[in-house]
Amino acid sequence: GPGSGAASSAVADWSLAFWTLCSVVLPVLITLWCSFQRSRRQVLIRDIFRKSKHDWRYTDLFGQPSYCCVCAQHILQGAFCNVCGLRVSESCLKKADQLFLCKEIMMRSDAGAAGSMPHHWIRGNVPLCSCCMICSQQCGTQPKLCDYRCVWCQRTVHDDCMKDCLKTEECTFGEFRDLIIPPYYLSAINQMRKDKKTNYEKVAPYCSKHWMPVIILANTRSGNNMGETLLGEFKILLNPVQVFDLSKIAPAKALQLCTLLPCNSVRVLVCGGDGTVGWVLDAIDEMKIKGQERFIPQVAILPLGTGNDLSNTLGWGAGYAGEVTVEQILRNVMEADGVTLDRWKVQVSNKGYYNLRKPKVFTMNNYFSIGPDALMALNFHAHREKTPSLFSSRIINKAVYFFYGTKDCLIQECKDLNKKVELELDGEKIELPNLEGIIVLNIGYWGGGCRLWEGMGDEPYPLARHDDGLLEVVGVYGSFHCAQIQVKLANPVRLGQAHTVRLILKSSKMPMQVDGEPWAQGPCTVTITHKTHALMLYHSGDQTDDDASSLSEPDHVREQTDEDV
């Protein structure tokens, strides 16, 4: 009857409601359960990472065919050690941590004779195109976990060629033995420190005759965020104790490693922009003040930042984007010649307030400027502070700079500079033409790769050098003139060369910058005097005739005396 029809309809409705609810709730519950399991898994992984002696990193996709070092299965995702290169699946991570030792910074007391150490072999995932040290045939060609690599000398050997004698054979540290700090050296130094001895020179003969240990200082926040990858690649090739992340440790602290190494032997590779280089050079100046002059290292540059004019001047290029292998970078550091770089003190004394305010003091390596290029830097800086995520790419940075340069053409905020400032070179007042900007140069390059002092190169001018105690002072008519000089369509207004530069801003507020750090400045006196010398490394690899004027002969490198401090 009608009653049974209504009942079956109600059951159908309830059934529909139940299954609709299930279809909504079940996926939600499954998602919540998966999310809970994932977060639990991540907590466990993080816990293993934190307690481990390995420097584990997690990846969702390996860049080359990879096999787990424990279960030998092919893996697409998992963890890899940034120091020894082990690769492992997530499920085998704990086991791998117990089974395999990482690269040791110092040797254990039971580990053989002082002055030598055996190979440290790890199995599988050898670099592509590596050859066996026994039979010279290619390694890692089979699609499975096979063949061995020594984590120190990077030599590889086939499973079939691996003999017992190789497991105990002394490791020679391979191609970069002159740059690596061996674990046995640090063990010996550690023992001497316990015995309160400081004559570390006695330990040096353990290492090779031409030993020039390198310290890597990388700013992972510089430029296009390549620092993180480079840190791992340098840790694989060197002793991890030599590689520092400047976002976690200050240069002054990292450079104390120099005091444990032979005098005048250390080379430092700074991976970052000119700002990072300036930060490291300031830390080296602090070493001089502490009386550690004999431990001062020579500095090479790997340009990662936006402004790389100092790096360009010293032959290291205008920007690194991974086009050169890390091995080649280390070879370049080994072959580089020593040169000196003038460093200058910029003192800005405000007018008024009865001069009770302390003057601002900066250290300058590259250039000081007042006018359009400082205004561009100031605008750029203000926008980078607001939205830092936008400015991680070098191309975007240059595009924004271009935008502010052309915008300034229309506004001409820096007009009639010659009426607002007085310029003195070595005490002599200079008559200024109708300018909008003045730039004081210490190095050959300016504005991201332009040789400002030379201009078009069609006029006679004294050579610009970065080690002669002289500054080059030029004027520009505005942003458009700056752009013309950059594409070699115009010459700058060469105002002269000087040992001391004095600039008096009589009225109004003007944009100023020192080495890319800009600010707006009211009436003041700016005095630029010589501060000290820095020991740098010059890479003469792809040098063109255009670069010759900024090259200093390597003979200058040991000329630094006590008066430079």
Residue 46, token pair as written in the block: 């993080």
**Over pLDDT 70: what percentage of the chain?**
84
Residue 62's Cβ-side half-sphere holds a number of Cα atoms within 13 Å equal to 20
Which residues are bridge partners to 561 per DSSP? none
pLDDT above 60: residue 542? no
pLDDT above 90: residue 256? yes
Identify the band that residue 555 occupies on the pLDDT scale cut at 50, 70 and 90.
very low
Pairing mode, strands 267-272 and 214-218: parallel
Residue 67, token pair as written in the block: 């096999």
Q: 9-13, 205-209, 516-520 — which is least confidently predicted?
A: 205-209
> What residues have CB less than 8 Å from 5, skipping those under 6 apart?
none
Per DSSP, which regions of 357-507 are E strands?
A: 360-364, 367-370, 421-425, 428-430, 437-441, 471-476, 493-498, 501-505
Contact yes or no for 239/182 (Cβ under 8 A): yes
Residue with tokens 């007009």: 415
Question: Residue 277 and residue 258: Cα distance in Å, rounded?
Answer: 17
Which residues are bridge partners to 87 per DSSP? 80
Q: Give this prediction's pTM.
A: 0.83
**Predicted pLDDT of residue 316:** 93
State the first-to-last Cα distance of the chain, in angstroms, to the nearest integer.
109
Give the DSSP per-residue string, 62-99: -SS-EE-TTT--EESSEEEETTT--EE-GGGHHHHHHH
Q: 62-71, 157-166, 538-547 — which is least confidently predicted?
A: 538-547
How do residues 95-115 score in pLDDT, each as one tens digit? 998 899 999 888 765 454 567
How do residues 48-99 score in pLDDT, each as one tens digit? 778 888 999 888 888 888 999 999 999 988 999 999 999 999 889 889 988 9
Identify the band that residue 11 occupies on the pLDDT scale cut at 50, 70 and 90.
confident
Identify the band that residue 554 occupies on the pLDDT scale cut at 50, 70 and 90.
very low
Question: Residue 533 and residue 112: Cα distance in Å, rounded?
Answer: 44
> What residues have CB less than 8 Å from 180, skipping those under 6 apart?
152, 173, 213, 238, 239, 242
pLDDT above 70: residue 367? yes
The mean pLDDT value for 244-250 works out to: 94
The mean pLDDT value for 122-135 works out to: 90
How many residues are given for the chain? 565
pLDDT above 70: residue 453? yes
Q: Which of 282, 276, 126, 262 is nearest to 216 (CA)?
A: 276
**Predicted pLDDT of residue 206:** 64
pLDDT above 90: residue 287? yes
pLDDT above 50: residue 548? no
Identify the band that residue 19 occupies on the pLDDT scale cut at 50, 70 and 90.
confident
Higher-scoring residue by pLDDT: 380, 13: 13
Contact yes or no for 464/472 (Cβ under 8 A): yes
**Predicted pLDDT of residue 354:** 58
The mean pLDDT value for 117-144 works out to: 90
**Over pLDDT 90: what percentage of the chain?**
42
**Predicted pLDDT of residue 131:** 92
> Alpha carbon of 357 to those of 30, 67, 352, 507, 524: distances in Å?
66, 65, 9, 18, 12
Identify the band that residue 407 occupies on the pLDDT scale cut at 50, 70 and 90.
very low
pLDDT above 60: residue 281? yes
Which residues are bridge partners to 514 per DSSP? 368, 517
Which amino acid is located at 550 in the chain? S
Handedness of CA 91, 93, 98, 99 (dihedral sign): positive
Question: Residue 309 and residue 446: Cα distance in Å, rounded?
Answer: 6
Give the angle 407-410-414 at the CA atoms, nearest 5°: 90
Which residues are bridge partners to 524 per DSSP? 350, 505
Question: Residue 484 and residue 406: Cα distance in Å, rounded?
Answer: 12
Averaged pLDDT of the chain: 83
pLDDT above 90: residue 268? yes
pLDDT above 80: residue 355? no
Q: Which of 27, 9, 6 is nearest to 17 (CA)?
A: 9
Domains of the chain: 49-103 (3.30.60.20), 108-174 (3.30.60.20), 177-190+198-335 (3.40.50), 343-531 (2.60.200.40)
Per DSSP, which regions of 322-364 are E strands?
A: 337-350, 360-364
pLDDT above 50: residue 552? no
**Predicted pLDDT of residue 162:** 87
How do residues 374-391 score in pLDDT, each as one tens digit? 888 787 666 656 565 554
Give the DSSP per-residue string, 30-48: HHHHHHHHHHHHHHHHHHH
